[in-house]
Structure 1
């Protein structure tokens, strides 16, 4: 089962505080945790994201597109980083997440969301669509 683990943003992550000894210690602890994830075969990918002051959103309304420049409000609803994990079930994902060092200087949250798998869509996915999806995944795995 693949899951995406979101590191929720905070006021601190959105302002991009300068590095401090506390932040250095946090990065070291997170590096060790990431190494454990990799060594256990759990971590597929992961990274931190710049504050939304560097971001853009694209709003869709029918054929129209509107570009919205960051920063965006409500930091607790934003994402500051992510991991993609390959776990046996949600319980294993929660177990790993509980071992994670606090990813922010103050209070913070992780959110775990499972990916859809092709089988989740049942009969809506024809054999042709499934074959096309597999071809794309195979191509991605070679890059």
Structure 2
């Protein structure tokens, strides 16, 4: 059961939103995928926190994405399931309020998290990672 509140889409329509803080981490291609991008953690004035994934050069697959505990070198379990990248805009937006285990998560928790992020080829091939990067405490 997915406990994070998830919303996805190809962009924002409301240009009046006030961003209080934003932190961006790079995502690098894995093997020969040639897919790179970034993940942004964004804190809004209304208290909402979003995780925005943006990639370049992807296929038309629906790409699942997860935040994992620990660094890329260490590996670890899934901590947060993100909205998959499923449209040709190569972007997904996940509004988060809880980790997958049900405990609360804030913008500050995300930017300080001992973790990494992976984007996978598709739901049938989760073993194939197409882009990844250290986030939070591991990216600093």
TM-score of the pair, normalised by structure 1: 0.28
Larger Rg: 1
TM-score of the pair, normalised by structure 2: 0.28
Q: Which has the higher helix share?
A: 1
